Amino acid sequence: MRLIRGLHNLTPPTSASVVTIGNFDGIHLGHQQVLEQLRLAVVQHKLPGTVIIFEPQPIEFFAPGKAPKRLSRFREKLAYLKSKQIDNLLCLRFNRDLAELYAEDFVKQILVERLKIRHLVIGDDFRFGKNRRGNFQLLQDCGEQYGFAVEKTETLLIDGARVSSTRIRESILNNDFEQASRLLGRPYSLSGKVCHGQKLGRGLGFPTINIKMGDKTLIVKGIFAVSVKGIDNRVLQGVASIGTRPTINGVDTILEVFILDFDQDVYGYRVEVEFLHKIRDEQKFDSLQELKVHIEQDTVKAKQYFDLLINSTP
């Protein structure tokens, strides 16, 4: 998959293309339905497929204080799309110029002139362009004018309700990771490279693997029972803390995982951390000793959760 960051890096295509557009936060089952329709159109037309996304997401540009917390980071989105053998991922910087671009101009300047679009697949609620005036009907009109087909993906329902990133966020906030996994079509997880930390956990008797989470605000924050994959062939159990570590006046968001019954040097490994159950919110403690006591309690609760999980498995 070719990652194209910005229109200035988009060289003129040698062929027409099949395109879809969206935020794809979390890439849930609804998004996967769109991607499957894109794949079928790619096969039908024998043309490359392009996914267009935006950074930041439009709501983060217009109302950063009200924007919903993300389900995943850019790297998770990139990894998933790469696994689906998407030909091109075009990441457009959402700025004032793009926000002021009328829907008709977006179609003409980007889809037609730059991508030579032949077929467009969009979700049923897709809106775009200045003042969100662009919709399915406008795209159909533009398709007739410029000679491309427009295909709409119908709403995907599970338990009578629409599958959406909002619904998944609500499930996670309600500590219902089983429901979140059903809507995602896979377990909810974050991944990254294990890096060196301040060795604070090791000094307290709880050595952790550390993964930097970047500057985007994620929906998960607090202490969780998790599983860890990617170190060896095992699925390892652990206790994770994701947040800014207020006890030591931290600023950056870090994912720290104390892996149960494990003591290996795994710096540089790329691991996947699956979230299973929330134990508590992140807290600021008055001392490291008080923090240690709560880590001990968290570990006991995580072990109890895993024991319950094992005993409830048929």
The amino acid sitting at 224 is F
For 2-161, CATH gives: 3.40.50.620
pLDDT confidence band for 314 (50 / 70 / 90): low
Domain ranges of the chain: 2-161, 188-312
Distances (CA, A) of 139 to 54, 120, 136, 165, 230: 19, 9, 5, 24, 43
pLDDT confidence band for 197 (50 / 70 / 90): confident
| Shared fold status for 2-161 and 188-312 | no
Kindly state which CATH superfamily the domain 188-312 is placed in. Answer: Riboflavin kinase-like (2.40.30.30)
Examine the pLDDT at 8 and tell me if it is beyond 90: no
Range 231-250 average pLDDT: 93
Does the pTM exceed 0.95? no
Q: How far apart, in whole angstroms, are the C-alpha atoms of residue 235 and residue 232?
A: 8
